[in-house]
Amino acid sequence: MIENFVRDFARLIVSHPDKIVVKRQNIDENFDEIVIYAHKNDAGKLIGKEGRMINALKTVIGGCKAKDGISYRVNVQVIEESKG
């Protein structure tokens, strides 16, 4: 559920929505990491000026802790383009 929200949110912001991939990894019992993989030109859009966009996303996701008891860390990573 969280992954779908993050993916849909990210696709609304970026120039290359087809490149957005969101993965969730369990770190421990009550802590998960959500990684947004994006095109190199879109990483800055997801982070935003002074980190405002990613912090807003973290705030919204933080509200999910009240429902499922899991804390989330959100990171943006650039998709490495393969040269071929």
pTM confidence score: 0.87
Using one digit for the tens of pLDDT, what is the confidence trace for 47-65? 999 999 999 998 888 887 7
In which band, very low, low, confident or very high, does the pLDDT at 83 lie, cut at 50, 70 and 90? low
pLDDT for the residue numbered 82: 60
Higher per-residue pLDDT: 62 or 45? 45
Please report the domains of the chain, with CATH numbers, ordered by start residue: 2-78 (3.30.300.20)
Give me the sign of the Cα torsion angle 34, 76, 45, 78. Answer: negative
**Over residues 34-51, mean pLDDT:** 93
**Over residues 16-45, mean pLDDT:** 93
Write the CA distances from 73 to 19, 25, 82, integer angstroms. 21, 10, 27
CB atoms within 10 A of CB 44: 14
The Cβ-side half-sphere exposure at 43, using a 13 Å CA radius, reads: 10
